[in-house]
Structure 1
């Protein structure tokens, strides 16, 4: 239709029979011809749309390549020299990780896996809050409550309780508050005792965080706010020399960015540093020391303006000098069934460890019930390991399958549903293909791996086979789309559509004992492999049997 409109506007003479879009469409079809290597059929639909059908032989070639190389197609690699830095998770020292850290942690891990898959060298950065005024309060509380901390390490693994008790003292006791404020100055000046206590708090916190990261298969390297402390003064000096530093009333040193009335405060009026100071120093370090070509920060969406200002200030001063890409992925709130921020019945923020435990416990109960009913292919000894894989995978997928900018209601029942767009359904769907291949080996002595080695080819005939092959080979397009915005829900949509196409295939096409058995077994193999690759990108563990 646009082509016909362009022809009319061009003023060139038109063939007598070129009276509308359908004639243009027919001309295109005639010129493509019947022996095209990719298109097997073309037809006009509606007022001028051309519907194309992909050739089964073309699809077969793609699927055979995937099967033989055991690798899904990828966009062109970015090259081993390109570094991408992903800033994610970022809890605060002396505070337990809670449900608010869930999204940043699992989105960040998936983003890293996607970037690594296509060839980026990825720096996985945990920008923990390990520096600031709250440490004066925590240091004073530890000194008073555990005076012998040097010889006897205190048991402060209940970080939330420890922090809460220190905060109560800070709010209620003026003397304590004054000593806490003096501790901040001492800490920032390098006082030995304060640094020692600070290190204890950091070490205890790290041990607790690592337990969560191990359970979620998250790999991350800590670069806390303290790491950038000595890098802040040179950044302030650089803005000063550039003439873009503004001294505000009281002596605060600020940088104004276009379209924002509130500036970035690089130094407070009392000479201290804050959030803006640290993030600008971190940005300079990442751009010019790490030499990252793409920097992705993953935080709550409310910090969007802050990162927009930081990134623009970096561009204004000339730090973004090699075409680097600066990106912020902001995520919405995890809500309870009532539509409010997800909390316990008593109104306390849900600890991340409790959320994970609950998911595993529920999945374990479900699996034990299936064993009792004779519906499971695992032994009681395997239940806990499988429950962890499915439970953690369910938590991740329930979050990742959405656009992160949206809020969502957290529901264990919906998350662990065996039907619909859930990790549980997808893992079961993949296990179904594994089961078919295992049955072929046990009952027909056909090993799919041996079939592939022998050079056997897949033949695509049935429409359900064709649709499945088309879905498998579209992976590169989906990955290309994902690399643009780095939102994992594209991969989730793909693997869900793949599972639907796979389910239709095994429902409509008999595999066991059919004349096409060998070809269809290999198609099962490629489908299971494609699903597993998606699970790996999403950080979901493999399950062979359920």
Structure 2
């Protein structure tokens, strides 16, 4: 792979070398280099170093400037204020750096792999069997999918895990009712996977309601249902076959929703609560024998000094209930054992609602006490906030019910299709109705994903479709139209050559665009390390904004010289590739025509 050293890294190394020469005691000091509005970069580290050495910071700064190897990278260094350094790089360095990124034979834009990459299990997109997905399932799926893609791109081995809710006492009720009403889940061949999935879930919803009525009103049925739970847990062949039918019907629905979300969910990655059943006994035995868990009032519990109830008494993590049944903790702890010892993961990441933070805090601490997690194997929760309505309250229907995810996505696609249709009417390259439908889905789903991902995961955000599909502001639509505009220019260029010309002087808008493009790899590294897709969305929005300024101020096809035309086409191409790659890591399509 062709790895490209960023301009930031090149400048930082030259500053560090000069700083070491000027202050030998500060050989490993950080120059604290940052992008700046006053110049290309500003170094702020000299003040603290000079203060520590009881030296005059401005004099130290002057010595550092005198020792900097300018070469072909640094054009000018100015001492500012009490000892800041304002650094300007050469136009040649910007162009040559971008040319090297575009020439990357693996088409990674020169982004290096993380040398410390390991194996991360990302637990996300966790719907429940026999239940419809609602707006609360959106964030886990969207955030988890993007984090997984970013980590993979930076070199991490990622194992996806979708911990679906497929076990529990309610299945005894459902299975018994299905045995007594064997045709409840029959459904016709549908015209599409989505239609088939929604019909499957409709049947399951109908079955659940009917089973619940029978359970609440018929004592004999209730008794049969409870005996069926015992049979399920004991591994009865017929009962397990019926249970598997629920799981299979639900998966048809899950996959139709994920398909609408433009997400690929592999069947092998769907390992629900039931997948760890065979480990539960051993997990409890290991915890009890090690003294991590103790019997309290008949239940196997783990206690924590800092977890207490309103009455001041300790609130334990219950691994096994007093009746011998297992809670979520037993399953989650067994999953940790599987992921650490079988999958050989070095990092476990759980993309789960913030309201479950206490549960995971106790589960992780229990696993650490047991020795399953340590300094080399870590687990953390990527906790996310709530999706709110425009009124700032949890998103509900007018009837006060939770919003179905498919309804929300369909409305987003409808709104986006209207925007695409209206914009297409004024375009020199109008779209066909089939293209409008396809682009409408890409724009609508992209709008929903981007609104979610552009907010820091731990914050709540308001679901406002009008804003999401706006052509203006920080939206995916704005980025998608920027990409489509670039591709239109490249199409109109025809056979014209695009080529980097390092000898050319760059206009201010070209410099600003080029310097921002240079920061793509560092942004990705930061987003991967922090599990923070919102840092990538912020970068891409700024990139689209810089390109818009470039487009307004720097004619491309009508530039003054042939060399300038080629160089600006080159800038268009690398901008398009960066937008395309960045949006792909967010799980968002970039149509070439809109």
Q: Verify same fold: TM over 0.5.
A: yes
Q: 2:34 matched to which residue of 1?
A: none
Specify whether residues 460 and 2 from structure 1 end up closer, same or farther in structure 2 by C-alpha distance, changes over 3 A only. Answer: closer
Q: Hey, what does 1:276 align to over in structure 2?
A: 329
User: Does 2:438 align with 1:385?
Assistant: yes
Say which of 441, 446, 449 aligns to 2:496.
446
> Is 125-134 or 212-221 further displaced after alignment?
212-221
Q: Confirm whether residue 62 of structure 1 aligns to residue 97 of structure 2.
A: yes
**Within-5 A mapping of 1:248-259:** 248-249=296-297, 251-259=298-306
1:491-506 matches, within 5 Å, as 491-506=536-551
The answer as to 2:84 corresponding to 1:49 is yes
Distance 1:4 1:322 in 2: 35
The answer to whether the 8 A contact 2:483-2:590 is kept is no
State yes or no: 1:529 paired with 2:577: yes
Residues in 1 aligned to 2:210 and 2:257: alpha-carbon distance in whole angstroms: 24
Deviations 1:5-48, CA, capped at 9 Å, x for gaps:
6556646xx6xxxxx43333333223326x34432222233333
CA offset at residue 165 of structure 1? Answer: 3.9
- Is 1:177 matched up with 2:222? yes
Higher mean displacement: 458-467 or 166-175: 166-175
Contact residue 300 and residue 320 of structure 2 kept, 8 A: yes
Q: Distance in 2 between matches of 1:365 and 1:539?
A: 22
- Whether 1:403 and 2:451 are equivalent positions in the alignment is no
Residue 138 (structure 1) aligns with:
174
Deviation sequence 1:150-185 (CA, Å, 0-9, x none): 9x6797531344334433443454444333222211
> Would you say 1:425 and 2:478 are equivalent positions?
yes
1:237 aligns with 285
Match of 1:72 in 2: 109
Instruction: After superposition, give the CA deviation of every residue in 1:472-525 in whole Å (9 maximum; x if it has no partner).
Output: 111121112112221100110110111111111111111112111000001100
| 1:460/1:466 contact within 8 Å kept | no
Aligned CA distance change for structure 1 residues 375 and 174 (closer, same or farther; 3 Å): farther
What's the TM-score, normalizing by structure 2?
0.84
Confirm or deny: 8 A CA contact 1:60 1:460 kept in the other structure.
no
Give the drift of 1:374: 4.8
Show the 5 A alignment for 1:175-214.
175-214=220-259
Alignment of 1:13-412 (within 5 A): 20-32=56-68, 35-69=70-104, 70-78=107-115, 82-144=118-180, 146-147=181-182, 156-158=200-202, 159-220=204-265, 221-249=269-297, 251-260=298-307, 261-320=314-373, 323-374=376-427, 377-412=430-465
Provide the TM-score with structure 1 as the length reference.
Answer: 0.91
8 Å contact from structure 2 (residues 446, 588) kept in 1: yes
Question: Which moved further from structure 2: 55-64 or 386-395?
Answer: 55-64
Contact 1:367 1:383 in 2 (8 A): yes
CA distance in 2, matches of 1:311, 1:342: 31
Higher relative CO (Cα under 8 Å, sequence separation at least 6) belongs to 1
Structure 1: 4+ residue segments shifted above 6 A: none
Instruction: Return closer, same or farther for 1:9/1:427 CA change in 2, 3 Å cut-off.
Output: closer
Which range moves more in the overlay, 315-324 or 349-358?
A: 315-324
Unaligned runs of 5+ in 2: 1-43, 189-198, 308-313
Q: Tell me how far apart the structure 1 counterparts of residues 326 and 62 of structure 2 sit (CA, whole Å).
A: 69
Q: Distance in 2 between matches of 1:520 and 1:68?
A: 16
Aligned Cα root-mean-square deviation (Å): 2.3
Contact 2:46 2:61 in 1 (8 A): no
User: 2:353 & 2:406 partners in 1: Cα distance?
Assistant: 20
Q: Secondary structure at the match of 2:160?
A: strand
| Aligned pairs, number | 526
1:197-230 Cα offsets, whole Å, 9 max, x none, are 2111111100000011122232332101001011
Distance 1:48 1:283, change over 3 A: same
SS at match of 1:361: helix
What secondary structure does 2:491 align onto? Answer: helix
Inter-CA distance 7–368: structure 2 relative to 1 (3 Å threshold): closer
Aligned equivalents of 1:475, 1:153: Cα separation in 2: 49
> Residue 273 of structure 1: CA displacement?
0.9
Larger CA deviation: 534-543 vs 37-46: 37-46
Map Cα deviations across residues 246-288 of structure 1 (whole Å, 9 max, x no partner). Answer: 1011x11112245333222111111111110100000000000
CA distance in 2, matches of 1:235, 1:63: 53
